[in-house]
Amino acid sequence: MALIYIDDLKNHIAEEIKISGWLYNKRSSGKVRFLVIRDGTGILQCVMVKGIIQDDVFNLFDTITQETSLHVFGKIKKDDRAPGGFEMELTNIQIIAIAKEYPITPKEHGVEFLMDLRHLWLRSSRQHAILRIRHQIIKAIREFFDNRGFILMDAPIITPAACEGTSTLFETDYFDLGKAYLTQSGQLYGEAGAMAHGKIYVFGPTFRAEKSKTRRHLTEFWMVEPEVAFADLNDNMELAEEFLEHIVTSVLKYRSAELKTLERNISILEKVKKPFPRVSYSEAVEILKKEGIDFEWGNDFGGTDETIISEGFDRPVIVHRYPAKVKAFYMKRDPQNPDLALAMDVLAPEGYGEIIGGSQREDDFDLLVQRIKEHNLPQSAFDWYLDLRRYGSVPHAGFGLGVERTVGWICGLEHVRETIPFPRMIYRLTP
Ligand code: 4AD
Ligand code: MG
């Protein structure tokens, strides 16, 4: 028999069906007993009344502990008061496995306790909602690029050199070939892909040995990186705003129940429509100064600076043309002012900070060699990358969106640790 799922009950009203799941909660009032079952897709309240149901089934109520796995049988009726809008009139119960005393109870637990039990915490309604929104975001990301003719380009995870600075590399020995590093970004490989296919996206896990303990940093996170041949910084900004609008629209459309579970204020998300405001780095510095921040032109923004800059806007804001010296080696300089890089960051509203970082790339061979030297990077490891400038170099641009920061912002979460099933942070490697 095909399984019937709770999220499909509207098609089974008045039918006698079986639902397979786990006990989420139970309560009793007089001769009536309620079992609240979760099956992964939703929550269903099941009712039985003493005298109407067989006594041996009725008495199972006392045996069934939280998270016991079971099949429940009964008739489905609509009930607006019940969670999910349906109720089952139980006729039978089959226990699969009685659960031992479950460590996560409806009372408040500390975050570290819950993080240690992350493998079980995933079953809780809040975590369940967050990971369904994450799924939707990833689906919307793929849909956006696939519908626009971008080709998925998988980049290696084990790499010979740094992409985003040498201070956050995870290092490992690689047989007889010396050191290898976990990738910080698939971008350089994505550029090769763009020269082969025109427009591509890399989508995979990336790694940064971040020594900082903040609410925005993981050591392992997922990044999607489009790269487009014959695109400049302006095209890049347009692509980024269309992309973010698509993601948010998709979550609002398909995951409103989950946003409600999270008590997310969706009126703010509804404002995420292009065009996004654009400010240059220098204008952003002026915003900070007006807010009384002692900030020196030329430095990179910290998390708090980003929060302050974005506070004046009701949707994501694009900051462009950063000082070249705070940005990566591969960025093209602004022809109007060579101290600036043709870079852009998209800052999410409500203080969530940078969710996208990108740029137009240096397409001149000699200048790129010079940058590699200036950044003390081993030129031999980048010789293949320089080939992209030797053989038919073209202007091109791209960006990277961090999935976890995006999930955190859209869900309205305090910390990125809840945005990925099993977070990796400087102080956490388990479960
Ligand atoms: O700004 P980043 O470092 O850019 C790059 O890696 C470029 N190669 C992307 C490109 O142009 N193809 O990182 C891009 C995004 C950030 O905006 C942020 O959302 C996320 O990746 N990110 C992190 N997310 C969680 N934890 C970390 N430690 C992160 N570091 C970056
Ligand atoms: Mg960045």
In this prediction, residue 1 carries a pLDDT of 62
pLDDT in single tens digits along all 431 residues of the chain = 679 999 999 999 999 999 999 999 999 998 999 999 999 999 999 999 999 999 999 999 999 999 999 999 999 999 999 888 999 999 999 999 999 999 999 889 999 999 999 999 999 999 999 999 999 999 999 999 999 999 999 999 999 998 898 899 999 999 999 999 999 999 999 999 999 999 999 999 999 998 888 999 999 999 999 999 999 999 999 999 999 999 999 999 999 999 999 999 999 999 999 999 999 999 999 999 999 999 999 999 999 999 999 999 999 999 999 999 999 999 999 999 999 999 999 999 999 999 999 999 999 999 999 999 999 999 999 999 999 999 999 999 999 999 999 999 999 999 999 999 999 999 999 99
The residue whose CB lies within 8 Å of the most ligand 1 atoms, and thus the one to mutate among 185, 191, 306, 424, is 185
Ligand 1 atom at minimal distance to the Cα of residue 345 = 17
Ligand 1 atom at minimal distance to the Cα of residue 346 = 17
In this prediction, residue 210 carries a pLDDT of 87
Alpha-helical segments (H) within 24-151: 55-63, 111-116, 118-121, 125-147
Q: Which CATH class is domain 118-418?
A: alpha beta
Task: Give ranges for CATH 2.40.50.140 in the chain.
Answer: 6-97
Ligand 1 atom at minimal distance to the Cα of residue 405 = 19
How far is ligand 2, taken at its centre, from the CA of residue 323, in Å?
13
How far is ligand 1, taken at its centre, from the CA of residue 302, in Å?
14
Closest CA to 188 of 364, 366, 387, 406: 387
- Judged by DSSP in three states, 320 sits in strand
- Cβ of 277: how many Cβ atoms within 10 Å? 14
Q: DSSP assignment of 263-301, as one string?
A: T--HHHHHT--SSPPEEEHHHHHHHHHHTT----TTSPP
CA-nearest residue for atom 4, ligand 1, is 357
Helices (H) and strands (E) in the chain, counts: 13, 18
Q: In the Cβ-directed half-sphere of 108, how many Cα atoms lie within 13 Å?
A: 1
Backbone angles phi, psi at 274, to 5 degrees: -75, 155
How far is ligand 1, taken at its centre, from the CA of residue 128, in Å?
25
How far is ligand 2, taken at its centre, from the CA of residue 186, in Å?
14
Give Cα 342 distance to the centre of its chain: 26
CA-nearest residue for atom 18, ligand 1, is 402
Ligand 1 atom at minimal distance to the Cα of residue 223 = 21
Alpha-helical segments (H) within 117-221: 118-121, 125-147, 187-197
Which residues line ligand 1 at a C-beta cut-off of 6 Å? 163-164, 185, 187, 208, 210, 217-218, 221, 223, 225, 354-359, 398-400, 402, 404-405, 416
57, β-bridge pairs: none
At 202-213, the pLDDT tens digits run 999 999 998 888
Prediction pTM value = 0.97
Classify residue 2 by burial, with Cβ atoms within 10 Å: 0-12, 13-18, 19+.
Answer: exposed
Task: Give ranges for CATH 3.30.930.10 in the chain.
Answer: 118-418
Ligand nearest to the CA of 163: 1
The residue whose CB lies within 8 Å of the most ligand 1 atoms, and thus the one to mutate among 405, 410, 425, is 405
Ligand 1 atom at minimal distance to the Cα of residue 168 = 28
How far is ligand 1, taken at its centre, from the CA of residue 207, in Å?
10
Beta strands at 43-49 and 86-97: parallel, antiparallel or unpaired:
parallel
Closest CA to 249 of 129, 409, 127, 410: 410
Sign of CA pseudo-dihedral 64, 66, 71, 75: positive
227, β-bridge pairs: 200, 398
* 238 neighbors 224 (Cβ within 8 angstroms): no
CB under 5 Å of ion ligand 2: residues? 357
- Judged by DSSP in three states, 122 sits in coil
**Long-range contacts: 257-261, Cβ < 8 Å, 24+?**
257/129, 258/129, 258/130, 258/132, 258/133, 259/129, 259/133, 259/411, 261/125, 261/126, 261/128, 261/129
Fold held by 6-97 = OB fold (Dihydrolipoamide Acetyltransferase, E2P) (2.40.50)
In this prediction, residue 270 carries a pLDDT of 98
How far is ligand 1, taken at its centre, from the CA of residue 148, in Å?
23
Alpha-helical segments (H) within 377-418: 383-390, 403-411
Cα separation, 183 vs 188, whole angstroms: 10
